Amino acid sequence: MLDILIIISPLFLIILLGAILRKSNVVDESWQKVLNNYAFKIGFPALIFFALSKTEFSLETHSQLLLVNFIFLSSVIVLFAFLGKLLRLKTKTLKTLIICIVFGNVAYLGLPVVSNTLGENTIPISSLIVSVYLFVIFTIGIIIMEVLGHEKLNLAKIFFSLIKNPLLIATILGLLFSILNLDLPEIINKSLQIISNSVTPIVLLVIGLFLGKAKFGNLKEWIPVFLFSIFTLLVVPSILFFGLKFFGKIPRNFAESVILAAMPLAITPFAFSDTYDLDSHFIAKSIALSTILSIISIPFWISLVVA
């Protein structure tokens, strides 16, 4: 456990630095917006495209990995939707929980954690897993929010939200380059690699900047946030971990999947809150608390699948 903490502690120290800079007003809110836009529109698309385009992708080799993660994410969504209806949750609350439960920070935090823990050679596999998350979130997740939020399904809106998403575009292009065995000129590849190397510290700072401006609020508001964070960090990855064991699979062979499943809530759902009428206050608190608690939970899951 101590070895794992040493490996991932630099990541959380960068997050802490961002929080201190924001809390002390050394930087203002504009930094977060600019850096987040860079990461979302340039940095991570470059990282995902570069990693996937260099991966020797084949259905025979990766079909099981993709299928396991797709079934896992879909099952979690269905389970939460069923529980929400059973508990008669309000539509706004149900939509918030459904999109948040699968929107783990698999790209911004997950890729750095996996690469620092298992080695940079795992980035292609992790990127494939992230592509499954993106596909599920920006198809099934968005469709569910559209269905719950409107009487009439707006297919055009869903389609345009998909084709404009930089991460999904990078995923599709990366897979195409891999499958067709295409390559870019070396000068472009080196440029993409430089951008890819820059994105990890930048997005870790963004997480810290967000946490640094988060308001505490009253204790009563944090009870459902705490319960949700525990569910996200412990129960959700447990579903995958024990599900693999139940079907005779070795969780260690799916280490990247288990670690990514244990990520805290990502920042992106907060950006959805206005468009899809989500509970923005709950999301903001959940991002803050789950990220802090993940300092303990992530090493726990790593120790289970790496030891």
- Range picked from 140-154, 246-260, 268-282 for highest mean pLDDT: 246-260
Whether the predicted pLDDT of 169 surpasses 60: yes
pLDDT range class, residue 153, cuts 50, 70, 90: low
Whether the predicted pLDDT of 238 surpasses 90: yes
CA angle 63, 66, 71 (to 5 degrees): 115
The helix, strand and coil proportions of the chain, stated in percent and rounded to the nearest 5, come to 80, 0, 15
CB 199 within 8 A of CB 36: no
In whole angstroms, what is the distance from residue 20 CA to residue 8 CA? Answer: 19
Whether the predicted pLDDT of 7 surpasses 80: no
- Phi, psi angles (nearest 5°) of residue 84: -65, -45
pLDDT at 48: 77
Cβ atoms within 10 A of the Cβ of 248, count?
A: 6
E-strand stretches of 167-265: none
In whole angstroms, what is the distance from residue 307 CA to residue 301 CA? Answer: 10
> Could you tell me the maximum CA-CA distance found in the chain, to the nearest angstrom?
57
Mean pLDDT check: name the lowest of 94-98, 137-141, 193-197, 229-233: 137-141
CB 108 within 8 A of CB 293: no
pLDDT range class, residue 57, cuts 50, 70, 90: low
pLDDT range class, residue 226, cuts 50, 70, 90: very high
Question: What average pLDDT does range 289-296 have in this prediction?
Answer: 87
- Hey, what are 169's tokens? 């575009």
Q: Residue 198 belongs to what H/E stretch?
A: helix 186-213
- CA-closest candidate to residue 113, choices 103, 101, 126, 128: 126
- Partners of 265 in the beta sheet? 104
CA angle 165, 167, 171 (to 5 degrees): 115
Identify the structural domains of the chain with CATH numbers, from first to last.
Answer: 2-306 (1.20.1530.20)
Residue of higher predicted confidence among 72 and 62: 72
In whole angstroms, what is the distance from residue 245 CA to residue 131 CA? Answer: 24
pLDDT range class, residue 151, cuts 50, 70, 90: low
pLDDT at 8: 65
pLDDT at 72: 92
- The predicted-structure confidence for 85-114, as pLDDT tens digits, reads as follows 788 888 888 888 888 888 888 877 888 888
In whole angstroms, what is the distance from residue 237 CA to residue 245 CA? Answer: 13
- The predicted-structure confidence for 182-199, as pLDDT tens digits, reads as follows 888 999 999 998 998 888
pLDDT at 40: 75
- Phi, psi angles (nearest 5°) of residue 181: 55, 45
Question: What average pLDDT does range 170-178 have in this prediction?
Answer: 83
pTM value > 0.85: no
Whether the predicted pLDDT of 290 surpasses 60: yes
Q: Residue 252 belongs to what H/E stretch?
A: none
- Range picked from 57-61, 242-246, 282-286 for highest mean pLDDT: 242-246
CB 63 within 8 A of CB 187: no
Whether the predicted pLDDT of 1 surpasses 80: no
- Calculate Rg over the CA atoms of the chain: 19
The set of residues, in sequence order, having a beta carbon less than 8 Å from that of 53 and lying 6+ positions away, is: 173, 174, 177, 178, 182, 183, 184
Residue 2 burial by CB count (10 A; 0-12/13-18/19+): exposed, middle or buried?
exposed
Whether the predicted pLDDT of 162 surpasses 60: yes
What are the angstrom distances between the C-alpha of 18 and each of 60, 66, 205, 268? 43, 34, 5, 18
Mean pLDDT check: name the lowest of 141-150, 167-176, 297-306: 141-150
In percent, the amount of the chain with pLDDT more than 90 equals 19
Report which residue type is found at 77: I
Q: Tell me the average pLDDT of the chain.
A: 82
Whether the predicted pLDDT of 4 surpasses 60: no
